Amino acid sequence: MIELSEVSRTVTSGAGPLTILHPSSFRIEQGRTVAITGPSGSGKSTLLGLLAGLDTPTTGAVSIDGVNITRLGEEALARLRGEKIGIVFQFFHLLPSLTALENVLVPMELAGVADARVRAAALLADVGLTGRGHHYPSQLSGGEQQRVAIARALANDPPILLADEPTGNLDSATGRQVIDLLMHVNRDHGRTLVLVTHDPELAQVADEVIALRDGRVVSRTERT
Ligand SMILES: Nc1ncnc2c1ncn2[C@@H]1O[C@H](COP(=O)(O)OP(=O)(O)OP(=O)(O)O)[C@@H](O)[C@H]1O
Ligand SMILES: [Mg+2]
């Protein structure tokens, strides 16, 4: 379970402090699919970065499975992230000098997984990229790169998958394939999936939609 209590983030801009996320509290139960929506600049990526432990809240606490990650040191946080959280970004963020297989290998090597190469190849097969492991990101289409990024996010079999506009840079047909893949991954493994999206089709498949506006949670809608 992911739990936020009174989490906010204030940054210092030229004009002084700017609160980009006002104190927010909510829980996401294990296995749920949650979409975070809202206009550009409303704080979606900020919120996801806090859930992922990539950023530190200014106030409040983020807990993952009962562990307050806000209090963890850098090393413990990195370890927890490596074990529990997979992240998919809008612009894929693959390492251009590594092949698809090597990109998927990186998190496993960091975690010291045995049989990493075999598992990386299996993950690429799961996302429909059998035989493409030796290709570099520049040799893959956007949708293929995003599928490599999903395979990489799943490398350590994390219970939580976070995705920031995973279909934002894909055409609608390719985006649909990526959505299907994410849903499949969620249902079959009981993973928690938190998606930032502008895409109404993607928001519709979620169990719950959290809407942000101007750095505040303005609504939470459960799908019935
Ligand atoms: N480090 C920072 N310093 C100053 N302002 C920031 C910083 N990070 C984010 N912001 C501002 O906070 C607001 C929320 O940003 P955020 O990236 O979370 O929005 P978003 O909802 O993800 O938008 P988009 O849909 O365009 O990706 C924006 O106005 C952004 O400019
Ligand atoms: Mg964003």
Structural domains of the chain, ranges and CATH numbers in brackets: 31-44+74-222 (3.40.50.300)
pLDDT higher than 90, residue 184: no
Measured in Å, residue 31 CA sits from the centre of ligand 1 at 28
SS3 89: coil
Q: Which ligand is located closest to the Cα atom of residue 13? A: 1
pLDDT higher than 80, residue 224: no
pLDDT higher than 80, residue 58: yes
Which residue's CA is the closest to the ligand 1 atom numbered 30? Answer: 41
The reply to whether ligand 1 has any atom less than 6 angstroms from the CB of 194 is: no
The reply to whether ligand 1 has any atom less than 6 angstroms from the CB of 200 is: no
Beta-sheet strand order (sheet of 16-28):
16-28, 2-13, 59-64, 67-68
Looking at per-residue pLDDT, the higher value among 117 and 13 belongs to: 117
The reply to whether ligand 1 has any atom less than 6 angstroms from the CB of 13 is: yes
Question: At 183, is the pLDDT very low, low, confident or very high (cuts 50, 70, 90)?
Answer: confident
- Our mutation pick for probing the ligand 1 site, out of 7, 12, 42, counting the most ligand atoms within 8 A of Cβ, is 42
Quickly tell me which residue has 């006002």 as its tokens: 22
Q: Which atom of ligand 1 is nearest to the CA of 212?
A: 21
| Model pLDDT, residue 223 | 80
The reply to whether ligand 1 has any atom less than 6 angstroms from the CB of 38 is: yes
SS3 143: helix
| Model pLDDT, residue 11 | 95
Position 111: which residue type?
A: A
Q: What is the pTM of this model?
A: 0.91
Number of Cβ within a 10 Å radius of residue 209: 20
| Model pLDDT, residue 70 | 92
| Model pLDDT, residue 119 | 93
Task: Share the mean pLDDT of the chain.
Answer: 91
Q: Which ligand is located closest to the Cα atom of residue 20? A: 1
Question: At 167, is the pLDDT very low, low, confident or very high (cuts 50, 70, 90)?
Answer: confident
pLDDT higher than 80, residue 202: no
- Our mutation pick for probing the ligand 1 site, out of 9, 12, 44, counting the most ligand atoms within 8 A of Cβ, is 44
pLDDT higher than 80, residue 121: yes
Question: At 170, is the pLDDT very low, low, confident or very high (cuts 50, 70, 90)?
Answer: confident
Q: What is the mean pLDDT of residues 21-29?
A: 95
| Model pLDDT, residue 193 | 94
Measured in Å, residue 196 CA sits from the centre of ligand 1 at 13
Q: Which atom of ligand 1 is nearest to the CA of 13?
A: 4
In the beta sheet, which residues pair with residue 78? none
The reply to whether ligand 1 has any atom less than 6 angstroms from the CB of 44 is: yes
User: Cα(first)–Cα(last) distance of the chain, in Å?
Assistant: 21
Quickly tell me which residue has 């402090």 as its tokens: 17
pLDDT higher than 80, residue 200: no
Question: At 177, is the pLDDT very low, low, confident or very high (cuts 50, 70, 90)?
Answer: confident
Task: Check if the beta carbon of residue 152 is closer than 8 Å to that of residue 103.
Answer: yes
SS3 39: coil
The reply to whether ligand 1 has any atom less than 6 angstroms from the CB of 49 is: no
| Model pLDDT, residue 86 | 93
DSSP string, 90-136: TT----TTS-HHHHHHHHHHHHT-TTHHHHHHHHHHHTT-TT-TT--
| SS3 letters across 161-188 | EEEECCCCCCCHHHHHHHHHHHHHHHHH
Residues 6+ apart with CB under 8 A from 92: 137, 142, 145, 146, 148, 149, 169
pLDDT higher than 90, residue 171: no
Measured in Å, residue 130 CA sits from the centre of ligand 2 at 31
| Model pLDDT, residue 127 | 87
- Residue 58 DSSP class: S
